[in-house]
Amino acid sequence: MAIRVLVADDHPLLLNGTKSFLNKNAYDVVATAEDGNDAFYKILKFRPDVAILDFDMPKLNGLEIAKKIRHEKIGTKAIILTLHKQEAILQEVGDSIAGYLTKNVALDELEECLREVIAGREYISTDLKMSIHFDYKQRAVDKLTATELKILKYLEQTYTSAQIAEELFISKRTVEKHRSNIIDKLNLTSSPNALILWLKQHPDLFLNT
């Protein structure tokens, strides 16, 4: 099934260019919008998998829409496009925003960004990573409690939930609850292997502990 996408941009040329690119690459563009209010209305109506949102739109900007999506628990993943690099938007990656691209690289990296976002991961364009100090991994881990960090470390050592429960003198059910909380805080998918895959992608996480 094709990924369902909404595109919102108040510049018709950019809007149509993005829509054309997505259609050519077999994405299903279910709706477009040229202002923030219309974009959010159509997100509520069509419930797309992903919303590609220009940051600087009238009525509601892209970040405001992304925060409303999260608040309403709609489930649509938000990708923000901007002309200029803004660290304030970067700080929302992993929270209300799943992806952040600058427009000068948007079409070059959009498909990769969509793949990552649909897979439950975050994506930041390469030029942003190179030019702005931003350590997403550390910021994400900083959200975890001491117990959650211990559980993550045991998982990294391939302990099962039952084994972790024995080590921490808590019930297996409590371990599973902590695992669920970790998944939420790291903005991962709820698949059984989500945490294991995330740990494999961050092999240096506990090198200094």
Domain spans of the chain?
A: 4-134, 138-201
pTM: 0.64
The tokens of 200 are what? 């494999």
CATH number assigned to the domain with residue range 138-201, chosen from the 4 options 3.90.180.10, 3.40.50.300, 3.40.50.720, 1.10.10.10: 1.10.10.10
Run means of pLDDT, 10 residues per run, the chain, 209 residues: 94 93 95 97 97 94 94 94 76 82 85 91 80 54 80 89 92 92 82 78 63
CA 204 to chain centre: 22
Alpha helices by DSSP H, listed for 87-171, are: 87-90, 106-118, 126-131, 136-141, 146-156, 161-168
Task: Note the pLDDT of residue 122.
Answer: 84
What are all long-range contacts of 19-27, with beta carbons under 8 Å and residues at least 24 apart?
21/107, 21/110, 22/110, 25/111, 26/2, 27/2, 27/3, 27/114
Report the distance separating Cα 165 and Cα 163, nearest Å.
Answer: 5
Task: Note the pLDDT of residue 17.
Answer: 92
Report the distance separating Cα 127 and Cα 111, nearest Å.
Answer: 16
What's the topology of domain 4-134?
Rossmann fold (3.40.50)
User: Do the Cβ atoms of 99 and 42 come closer than 8 Å?
Assistant: no
The tokens of 99 are what? 């992806």
* Equal CATH topology for 4-134 and 138-201: no
Which DSSP state fits 93? B
